[in-house]
Chains A and B, each alone.
Chain A
Amino acid sequence: MARGEKADVSRRDVVKMAGASGLAGLAGVTGSASAQEYPPIGNFPIQGEAATFGFTVPQSGPYSSEGQDELRAYKLAVEHLNNGGGWVDSWNGLSGNGVLDKEIDFVSGDTATDADQARQTARRMIQRDQAIMLSGGSSSAVAIAIQELCQREKVQYQCCLTHSNETTGKNCVRYSFREMFNAYMTAQALVPPVTKEFGKDQQFYQLYADYTWGKTVESSVQKFFTEAGWSQINSVATPLGTKDFSSYLSQVPRKKTDVLFLDHYGLDGANSLSQAISMGLDKDMEIIVPLYNRPMAQAAGGAIEGVFGTVAWDSQIDNQPSNDFTQAFQDKYARIPSGPAQLAYAQTLQYAAAVERAGTFYPPEVIKALEGYEYDNFGMGPELMRKCDHQAQRAVPVVKGLPASEQKQGQFFEIVNLTPRDTLGYACDEGPAARCDLGPYE
């Protein structure tokens, strides 16, 4: 079909193609068939022998712990793509000998958990380093900023850790794909186990991080828990990077509130949760942290005991792909990988496999190879990368924090429920997807 669409070649395309073959000839990459078959777009065709991936991770700011673990996983993914190992050996299409005979090279940059700096980092990777694909994240504001840039520059972006509804909703773009679930699905996944545990008729209070991610968590929690019969007392925005939440927490009405949602992530989440515990709020109410991860749990210590939440992935999820990844990561770094690490690794390999399926790095073809693709090799059960909004439809792990005495290196949660994908999500014309317009392929 894709080729069919290309039948009516516009004048512009002819010029582009002429340019491409000219460029290809100049650069001496005449051996690459794809360079002649497809017009140049973004950083395609790839100049030289190596394909460069750009990894945009936060190495400073409130999400830097997550960023470090992501970077480890990215390096591991590149190593496996070039030399085999890990999932490369068990996935169809990947050879362990580079991707489409190109060696994979990478550059990494600090987003500082800040959209402006992230945009600069990404632009440098696209323009100077000629990255064919970018991946990264840990803040939805950052991910959305980068994916908008990528759409403009026609460079593919594999979202890593971004959980805002808007990433594949209002702000969705053709060149970006998200494996991570979103706030909408988190709220859906939390409702059954949480209402079962705490009862049907509860009053809740929310503190949320005041940017795109926190806002969508807040609205999703409000929507689904209100629908389940709970009622919201109040929700209060807190600036990203707040250290001392005591003033916010002391305003939570202790007598009225049954459940407190702390919609914070990373260091902010660790701080707000441990401060809530130190103020004894857990004695008067239940606490829920909608999105959790391991570095965060580690920084919060014993404060996470009994606290519900969801995680991107956890090493305790016991199946072949999960165990293979945990093993490979442990062999390399002598540590248990976190959820963000698994996402980073999965997203990189998913892109590489799509390139192999497409038989070219030409972005529109790679995008088509991913759209509507069904897979079952991420350790999350059967998944679908939906065509209408590029949002993976997948299971969501609901977890509960372990008491300090039972916490071990890399193990902080018990998995309550691996909520299957068919009980979650929304149709293409509803929820966040209703506002998604992906934009052009070329």
Chain B
Amino acid sequence: MTSQPTPGQTVGPFFHYSLPYDDGPELVGPYDARAVTLHGYLYDGHGDPVPDGLIEIWQVGEAGTVVQETGSLRRDHRTFTGFGRAQTDADGHFRFFTVIPGIDPKRPDVAPFIAVVVLARGLLDKLHTRIYLPGYADLNAADPLLTSLDPAERDTLTATEDGEGSLRHDLRLQGENETVFLAFG
């Protein structure tokens, strides 16, 4: 028995009292020795920043395997749960503190990535994308999704290092260098 899915709707402008929460962007504490900064800007089709966006990330830990620990909403600053949520600020900027996802020991030929959902006022339904890591150049070069894209599209899915322990990844909803968004199945 199959049912039609409930359609999505925009997150609207007034989610800030409900969805963002303390430590939401901190998958690990900012002073954790393992911490890397993952940050970027969310842009609209004019290249203007989107100040009322919400970015969620979901990833494996350093061991490369899926984590099923609770505590994403009330962090104890020790448990890595793999989930993070950040709102964009007035400049359209978002920032997470996390770890680099590791290679799954059972699937050493699969390029690790961070799964992303993008939400914003004006965006009528959620968007999925991925962030691949610059440190996995060899695996990325063989990844089925990345290799199916032209180089400019591929760049929209790969973070760049912009300092020690810092990765930058901008998201563009529309226009030049529009981020590649994903549909599954």
Do A and B belong to a common assembly?
A: no
